[in-house]
Structure 1
Amino acid sequence: VPHSVASQRKCLQVEEHGRQRKSRVCKQSIYLCFFSKGNIIGSGIFISPKGVLEHAGSVGLSLIVWVCGGGICALGSLCYAELGVTIPKSGGDYSYVTEIFGGLVGFLLLWSAVLIMYPTTLAVIALTFSNYVLQPAFPDCLPPYIATRLLATICVLFLTWVNCSSVRWATRIQDVFTVGKLLALVLIIVVGLIQICRGHYDALRPSEAFEFRQDPSVGQIALAFLQASFAYSGWNFLNYVTEEVVEPRKNLPRAIYISIPLVTLVYTMTNIAYFSSMSPEELLASNAVAVTFGEKLLGMFSWVMPISVALSTFGGINGYLFTSSRLCFSGAREGHLPYLLAMIHLKNCTPIPALLVCCFATIVILCIGETHNLINYVSFINYLSYGVTIAGLLYLRKKRPNLVRPIKVSMLVPIAYLVFWAVLLGFSLYSEPVVCGLGMVIMLTGVPVYFVGVHWKDKPKCVYRLVERVTYIGQKVCYVVFPQEDLSETEPLTSSKATD
């Protein structure tokens, strides 16, 4: 009898443990879905529709581009999910590429991210913020060039100061201003659906939706995909939380299958809502699409739209400043950037030198670029880095076939993504050789920088003294020191590396 009671008690404990585990798995799935949607849905949806329509040439083709863009993101997310659980180390693309292809390729990706991707993205979002804030003051014309640049610069400087002052302030700003983008998108979609129910959908009729303003070409369609990819950027952030996921083999693909179709639906419905109230010509003529939408349909409440989008873009700038500074910090800690960038404030524990570098690079790009050219610029480099990372997945499959992979996608997934990637980049380079080529040139300038700054160990002593002097001055000015080393982050990426 005692044995029977003990057995029953053990069975009850096993059942309770199973229920708790299922509950944790369910909660993890819900969390990951919200995490991925929160990172993908951003200010890009208020920026990219004009560029997508301009290059696609018709309403119907632009909507197809938005839908297909979501499908491509799903393929890339599955590949990144496998990499995230196979190489469990913070740093994302940079860490994966460095581990698979070595220091040079990893440095080039870091170099392009620090000089191009993050500063250009910040510049685009800051310009969008200033355009939406100033557009109501200039209803009949574009806001002055100097005014938009000045307001964007002030915004970037203010948020850099916030991030330098307190991590808590930065995260609270992110939480509060996330409401702005959700409010704006919900309002646009609901009002658009009301318009469609009233019969205002002339631009969406098939006979007019596929009426091209110009003869479509593969090169222009590729540029339309680049414009849409700016709005979808953030899909690769999902694999950053794979180390903390319960049963990642189940939950990560589940989150991808749920969240990315939902984001694709939101983006497509937002564009449909735009076309329910604006003709293609009106959308292309608008410098702030959501403001024009609000002025036509919201009447006395039209002020809600620019405020909502401004809140969204303000939070987007804060988020990208936070992320880009941490990438600089990670690269400096690995020895690929000056060690000063790996230091944090003595009291606030914020990476002030890294934040200042990101702020300075953003302000420089603000002064020399136009919004839609900058989007082509950054999207080309983004896709280039995505393709290199996913090619690393195929290389890792061949080089280390016995490596433990909690998630293992079909080979067709990375191959399909890379085929699309090659076509997209090839025709984009053909259509915009100056914009895309300049991005590649800047990336390749990292080769001599790597060999001189990182690979060359026996430099003259005067060089080391100069670096030490600059680092010492930077420490005194920014009041920063090296953080306490976390030994867990310096361990090898995988314990099976030596046995493969």
Structure 2
Amino acid sequence: MQLLRAIGFFHGNILLFCVTTGAGIFVSPKGIAEAFLQGLFAYSGTSVLINIAGEIKNPGENIPKSLITVLPTVAVIYILVNISYLAVLTPQEIISTDAVAVTWMDKVIPSMQWVISFGISTSIVSNMCCTILSASRLFYTASQEGQLPLIFSMLNNYFSPTVAITQIIILASFLIMSSDLINLIKYSGLATWVLRGLYMIGLLKLRYQEPNLPRPYKVHLPFVLGSIAISLFLILTPMIQSPTVEYIYGFIFIFSGLLCYWLHVHLNQHYVCFDKVTCYLQLLFNVSPPEDQDDGISTEETHLEEIVL
């Protein structure tokens, strides 16, 4: 886990700390939900394992082992870090500072401030690489299933989905234009929990409609129902208590994917101009379809290859 993600966890702990200490601050259910949205951001790196499950050896065994060992380790480290903050800094210093770790280091070992700055910079690069690796695989898999244009599942000479990675970088560049880190974490957490709730609903649907499907590992029913309940609490509580236009924009952005799905998959619309764009992008990024594409995709691949020839 990266140091940058500890920022969200720390701010979530501060809000919960006000509840437990009775510091005269009224914390509503909305405040608790937002605290958890920021705090759980620290653990969102575990989703990387799920998104790249197709590239992990023996995922049915290695993914559960990773989660069981990593989550408690990260939780203990984060708790100890927060205890050290509270032991050195006052609550007012913690709330007023822009960089808690730097302020903490300035009081403990002033000459080592560069270590914190270097660690955060390294963390940002590591976090960026992991996010791009994970998110691009979602585009890649959806394209293989025919839910996104074929170009997203094409690979370059290094077996990398270059077009999917470029798309992720473009979208992320628009998001980071906002200078408010806390709001960015909050809204990305909101989107994450919307998707996780939908994942669990889809899991229940497949469990009862397709009980014989191969499953590398089993998710027990209490975890599924608990995840759905947590998702509903984190999503609906802020919207009901203080509905703002930002939440509306967020949901419009998330569910705009339904429009793309309806046009591309449900209506199965095919336009010649899309083939020309796909061929142009193939030449621009020097990518081609992988050899192990599904039969349903290979038909479209043959059509595109004919156009290229």
Q: TM-score interval w.r.t. the shorter chain?
A: 0.7 to 0.9
CA contact (8 A) 1:380 1:425 kept: yes
1: CA distance between counterparts of 2:194 and 2:87?
Answer: 35
After superposition, the Cα gap between the structure-2 partners of 1:389 and 1:246, relative to the gap in structure 1 and judged at 3 Å, is closer
Partner of 1:356: 166
Alignment match of 2:249 (pick from 427, 430, 438): 438
2: CA distance between counterparts of 1:476 and 1:403?
Answer: 38
Aligned CA RMSD, in angstroms, stands at: 3.0
Provide Cα deviations, 1:409-440, integer angstroms capped at 9, x if missing partner. 54333223322332222213235533333221
Alignment match of 1:424 (pick from 221, 225, 234): 234
Provide Cα deviations, 1:266-316, integer angstroms capped at 9, x if missing partner. 111111111111122222222222122211211212211111121111111
CA contact (8 A) 1:390 1:414 kept: yes
The 5 A counterparts of 1:20-169 are 41-53=1-13, 55-56=15-16, 58=18, 61=20
- Secondary structure in structure 2 of the residue aligned to 1:336: coil
After superposition, the Cα gap between the structure-2 partners of 1:304 and 1:256, relative to the gap in structure 1 and judged at 3 Å, is closer
- Secondary structure in structure 2 of the residue aligned to 1:337: coil
- Which amino acid counterpart does residue 221 of structure 1 have in structure 2? I
- Structure 2: state its 5+ residue gaps: 298-309
The 5 A counterparts of 1:188-199 are none
After superposition, the Cα gap between the structure-2 partners of 1:225 and 1:366, relative to the gap in structure 1 and judged at 3 Å, is same
Partner of 1:411: 221
- Which amino acid counterpart does residue 206 of structure 2 have in structure 1? L
- Secondary structure in structure 1 of the residue aligned to 2:25: coil
Deviation at 1:258, TM superposition (A): 3.8
- Structure 1: state its 5+ residue gaps: 1-40, 62-209, 491-500
- Secondary structure in structure 2 of the residue aligned to 1:418: helix
- Secondary structure in structure 1 of the residue aligned to 2:292: coil
After superposition, the Cα gap between the structure-2 partners of 1:266 and 1:350, relative to the gap in structure 1 and judged at 3 Å, is same
Query: Looking at CA atoms only, which structure, 1 or 2, has the larger radius of gyration?
Result: 1
Provide Cα deviations, 1:427-485, integer angstroms capped at 9, x if missing partner. 132355333332211122222222223322355xxxx2211222222222222222323
Alignment match of 1:377 (pick from 160, 172, 187): 187
- Which amino acid counterpart does residue 426 of structure 1 have in structure 2? L
2: CA distance between counterparts of 1:413 and 1:450?
Answer: 29
CA contact (8 A) 1:328 1:342 kept: yes
TM-score under structure 2 length normalisation? 0.82
2: CA distance between counterparts of 1:295 and 1:51?
Answer: 20
2: CA distance between counterparts of 1:410 and 1:469?
Answer: 47
The 5 A counterparts of 1:235-384 are 235-238=46-49, 240=53, 244-245=57-58, 248=61, 256-345=67-156, 347-368=157-178, 370-384=180-194
- Secondary structure in structure 2 of the residue aligned to 1:234: helix
Partner of 1:127: none
Q: How many residues align?
A: 294
Provide Cα deviations, 1:156-206, integer angstroms capped at 9, x if missing partner. xxxxxxxxxxxxxxxxxxxxxxxxxxxxxxxxxxxxxxxxxxxxxxxxxxx
2: CA distance between counterparts of 1:400 and 1:482?
Answer: 30
- Which amino acid counterpart does residue 113 of structure 2 have in structure 1? S
- Which amino acid counterpart does residue 56 of structure 1 have in structure 2? L
- Which amino acid counterpart does residue 52 of structure 1 have in structure 2? G
TM-score under structure 1 length normalisation? 0.53
Deviation at 1:238, TM superposition (A): 4.4
Identity across matched positions, percent: 25
After superposition, the Cα gap between the structure-2 partners of 1:294 and 1:241, relative to the gap in structure 1 and judged at 3 Å, is farther
Deviation at 1:375, TM superposition (A): 0.8
CA contact (8 A) 1:342 1:482 kept: yes
1: CA distance between counterparts of 2:230 and 2:9?
Answer: 21
| Residue 231 (str. 1) matches residue 42 (str. 2) | yes
Deviation at 1:335, TM superposition (A): 2.1
CA contact (8 A) 2:132 2:168 kept: yes
1: CA distance between counterparts of 2:71 and 2:179?
Answer: 31
Greater alpha carbon shift after TM alignment, 421-430 vs 372-381: 421-430
Provide Cα deviations, 1:89-125, integer angstroms capped at 9, x if missing partner. xxxxxxxxxxxxxxxxxxxxxxxxxxxxxxxxxxxxx
CA contact (8 A) 2:151 2:278 kept: yes
2: CA distance between counterparts of 1:488 and 1:470?
Answer: 22
Partner of 2:25: 214
| Residue 471 (str. 1) matches residue 278 (str. 2) | yes
Deviation at 1:232, TM superposition (A): 0.7
